[in-house]
Amino acid sequence: MDNPKRSNEALLRPYSHKNTGWRLFLSTIIARAYPRIIGQQREVSWLVFDLIMPMLAVIAYVFVYRALNAPEEYIGFVVMGGAMTAFWMNILWSMSSQLYWEKEQGNLALYIMAPNSMMAILLGMALGGMLATALRALAVTLLGIFMFGVTYTVSSYLQLFLVFMLAMIALYGMGMMMASAFLLFGREAWHMANLAQEPIFLASGFYFPIKSLPFWVAAGASIIPLTLGMDAMRQLIFPTGFEYGFMTVQTEILILAVLSVVFVFTAKVLLAYVERIAVREGRITESRR
Amino acid sequence: MAAWLGWVIESNWTDPFLFAVYSIVKPISGAAILVIMYGIISQGNYDNALFPYIYLGNAFYIYVGAVMTGVSWAVVDDREHYKTLKYMYIAPIYIPLYLLGRGVARFITGSIAVFITLAAGILFLNVKINFAEVDWLLFFVTLILGVVMLALLGLLLAGITLTVARHEGFIGEATAGALYIFSGAVFPLDVLPEWIRPIGYFMPTTYWLELLRRSLVGNVAQAFPTLASFSNLEILGILFGLSLFFGTISIWVFKICDARARELGLIDRTTNY
């Protein structure tokens, strides 16, 4: 039995601290990022699988190029594409499909009811996902170096940093936007995520230079931030990378900056729409749909 | 009934048009990645024997992911998602047969994908198959034997899946991914480092894919040194022997895992992952 006197004391005690405004926004981001950065690392088998799965495809494609006696740059292209695969998979399964899964497990209604901003939750998911996936991408890159002897020669660290950061902002902005869109797809969300794997690996040139595709196909695929991000990075980290570039690095940086703004803004608009439907109709949070 | 249930689950999530697009786009894109990689390096020379080797290997490998993973995925689907596995266990049915039945649906969707990939290759991508020269008997015998072998391997994975939590979804994918490399699905085994090759020689999928290629493009497939010294009949014998071996192990492992899962109360465990 609880001590009634102590229970009353607990009820009468005022809140020690209650964040509001930007403090609440910031603490929500940190709180949602926490399970992505710390929690996910606790399941060691996931970590192992997360590293092994992209490596299997990388190894297979490397041996295809070896069987074809391809120039060594292509081995590097495949390893880099394999590393970036981790980000795309993270976008599909841990960003785009996330709100749908939260709905299935009954958490989405709690998210919407809570006094925090949904945008902060999505930003937290993105930040956590980005950092956790960066570790995996780094591991794939290192494994590529040790297993296949891939060498990198960076021509401009500043541009490389800028390209990577802009590609990540645009990509995770796209993920935030897709999270709301996938929620509206209902039970088709899982299949949509599944469908967005091989076609995107193909169109975005994960395993070959995007320049090899017809111009308009490559231009269309540039809506996926990783397409231009990878193209620019290949130009910046391989000595002969410029020969395989689709556009100049400067142009790609500019387009990535525009994509970043467009995707983050659209994500905000779509999220507001989803919240409106959820509150007005109670339909979005219904887990049987 | 299990096969029908599986088909309904696989196909009823959307309208037929979207399902058809989904069924076409996914396998074609996977094959197109390899075609473009090949095209870039060979500068469009699709007459090399390596091209049909890669294309056919990749096309038929769809069965590995579909059938093998399909059988084991039924455990995850029924236990975690639909929470019906416990009812299946108390129903008067034979569970291994039920799981194999669920794999049949994936076999059907996989067959559609394989057919579409082959048709696209023949019609648009210069994959040369002379239907008058195809060894149809060898093709169908190999195909059926291979699908049975893959289903039994799926049963092995299903058994393991029954006894683990949180990462069961990865087991099928990781196994299929590893077999893709070790079986030389898209490159001759001679490209692998010498110390890894014996793993490939021990995998039934290596011989299965080789026989399928030989039955469809004959001498083109036999041009590669890996299994060149073996006749079709010898490879069929090896495939049969390995299938029998892995099939027996699969049934044995499933029985042990199934008993353990019942003993530990894992049949109705949900982990919310």
Question: Is the Cβ–Cβ distance between B59 and B110 less than 8 Å?
Answer: no
Question: Is the Cβ–Cβ distance between A56 and B184 less than 8 Å?
Answer: no
Question: Is the Cβ–Cβ distance between B126 and B46 less than 8 Å?
Answer: yes
The fraction of chain A above a pLDDT of 70, given in percent, is 89
Question: Is the Cβ–Cβ distance between A284 and A185 less than 8 Å?
Answer: no
- Residue A119: its H or E element: helix A118-148
A149 reaches B (C-beta below 8 A): no
pLDDT digits (tens, 9 = 90+) for A67-90: 999 988 899 999 999 889 888 888
Q: Which runs of consecutive H residues, i.e. helices, occur in A13-117?
A: 21-34, 40-42, 44-67, 72-89, 98-105, 108-113
Residue A2: the pLDDT is: 52
Residue B77: the pLDDT is: 81
Residue A15: the pLDDT is: 62
Separation CA B85–CA B95 (nearest Å): 10
Cα distances from A52 to residues B14, B46, B65, in angstroms, run: 32, 32, 17
Separation CA B212–CA B9 (nearest Å): 30
* Predicted confidence (pLDDT) at residue B254 exceeds the cutoff of 90: yes
pLDDT confidence bin for A56, thresholds 50/70/90: confident
pLDDT digits (tens, 9 = 90+) for B76-105: 888 887 788 888 888 888 888 888 888 888
Amino acid identity at A165: M
Residue A289: the pLDDT is: 45
pLDDT confidence bin for B246, thresholds 50/70/90: very high
* Predicted confidence (pLDDT) at residue B270 exceeds the cutoff of 60: yes
Domain parsing of chain B, residue ranges: 2-264
DSSP state letter for A238: S
Q: What is the mean pLDDT of residues B203-210?
A: 93
Domain parsing of chain A, residue ranges: 23-281
pLDDT digits (tens, 9 = 90+) for A85-130: 888 888 888 787 787 778 777 788 888 888 888 888 888 888 888 8
* Predicted confidence (pLDDT) at residue A266 exceeds the cutoff of 80: yes
Cα distances from A120 to residues A31, A91, A95, A284, in angstroms, run: 10, 17, 13, 19
Q: What is the mean pLDDT of residues A267-288?
A: 75
Question: Is the Cβ–Cβ distance between B50 and A68 less than 8 Å?
Answer: yes
Cα distances from A241 to residues A160, A200, A208, A222, A238, in angstroms, run: 13, 22, 12, 18, 5
pLDDT digits (tens, 9 = 90+) for A148-197: 888 888 989 999 999 999 999 999 888 888 888 877 766 666 777 777 88
pLDDT digits (tens, 9 = 90+) for B13-28: 666 677 777 777 888 8
Q: Which of B170, B41, B4, B106 is nearest to A43 (CA)?
A: B170
* Predicted confidence (pLDDT) at residue B212 exceeds the cutoff of 90: yes
* Predicted confidence (pLDDT) at residue A288 exceeds the cutoff of 60: no
Separation CA A223–CA B129 (nearest Å): 38
Q: What is the mean pLDDT of residues A238-242?
A: 85
* Residue carrying the six token digits 């960003």: A95
Question: Is the Cβ–Cβ distance between B100 and B64 less than 8 Å?
Answer: no
Residue B236: the pLDDT is: 95
Q: Which residue has the higher pLDDT, B1 or B182?
A: B182
Amino acid identity at B11: S
User: Between B18, B27, B40, which is nearest A208 by CB?
Assistant: B40
Provide CB contacts within 8 A for B91, sequence distance 6+.
none
* Predicted confidence (pLDDT) at residue B208 exceeds the cutoff of 90: yes
Residue A162: the pLDDT is: 95
B264 reaches A (C-beta below 8 A): no
pLDDT digits (tens, 9 = 90+) for A133-145: 888 888 888 888 8
Q: What is the mean pLDDT of residues B2-7?
A: 69
Q: Which of A178, A191, A253 is nearest to A222 (CA)?
A: A253
Number of A/B CB contacts below 8 angstroms equals 101
A196 reaches B (C-beta below 8 A): no
Cα distances from B245 to residues A252, B152, B233, in angstroms, run: 55, 11, 18
Residue A1: the pLDDT is: 47
* Predicted confidence (pLDDT) at residue A227 exceeds the cutoff of 90: yes
**φ, ψ for residue A213 (rounded to 5)?**
-85, 160
Give the lowest-confidence range in A2-16, B29-43, B138-152, B199-213.
A2-16
Residue by residue, DSSP assigns B132-176 as: TT--HHHHHHHHHHHHHHHHHHHHHHHHHHHH--S-HHHHHHHHH
B32 reaches A (C-beta below 8 A): yes
Residue by residue, DSSP assigns B9-40 as: HHHTTS-HHHHHHHHHHHHHHHHHHHHHHHHH
Separation CA A206–CA A226 (nearest Å): 9
Question: Is the Cβ–Cβ distance between A263 and A170 less than 8 Å?
Answer: yes
pLDDT digits (tens, 9 = 90+) for B124-159: 887 888 888 889 999 999 999 999 999 999 999 989
The fraction of chain A above a pLDDT of 90, given in percent, is 30
What is the residue-averaged pLDDT of chain A? Answer: 84
Nearest CA in chain B to A51: B174
User: Between B50, B173, B186, which is nearest A53 by CB?
Assistant: B173
Task: Report CB contact under 8 Å: B181, A198.
Answer: no
**φ, ψ for residue A14 (rounded to 5)?**
-75, 160
Amino acid identity at A74: Y
Residue by residue, DSSP assigns B94-131 as: -HHHHHHHHHHHHHHHHHHHHHHHHHHHHHHS-----T
Q: Which of A179, A191, A67 is nearest to A129 (CA)?
A: A179
* Predicted confidence (pLDDT) at residue A31 exceeds the cutoff of 50: yes
- Residue B265: its H or E element: none
- First-residue to last-residue Cα distance in chain A: 42
Task: Report CB contact under 8 Å: A201, B22.
Answer: no
Question: Is the Cβ–Cβ distance between A86 and A197 less than 8 Å?
Answer: no
Chain B stretch 173-202, residues whose beta carbon is closer than 8 A to a beta carbon of chain A: 173-174, 177-178, 180-181, 185-188, 191-192
> So what's the ipTM on this one?
0.86
Cα distances from A167 to residues A18, A87, A123, A268, B258, in angstroms, run: 36, 10, 16, 19, 47
For B218, counting Cβ atoms within 10 Å of its Cβ (0-12 exposed, 13-18 middle, 19+ buried), the class is: middle
Cα-Cα-Cα-Cα torsion B190, A199, B213, B54, nearest 10 degrees, comes to: -30
Residue B166: the pLDDT is: 62
Tokens matching residue A100? 């749908």
Separation CA A55–CA A141 (nearest Å): 10
Q: Select the residue from B8, B12, B41, B182 to test the A interface by mutation, using most A Cβ atoms within 10 A.
A: B41
Residue B10: the pLDDT is: 67
Amino acid identity at B95: I
Q: Which of B217, B250, B262 is nearest to B100 (CA)?
A: B250
Tokens matching residue B213? 């290629």
User: Between B30, B167, B181, which is nearest A56 by CB?
Assistant: B181
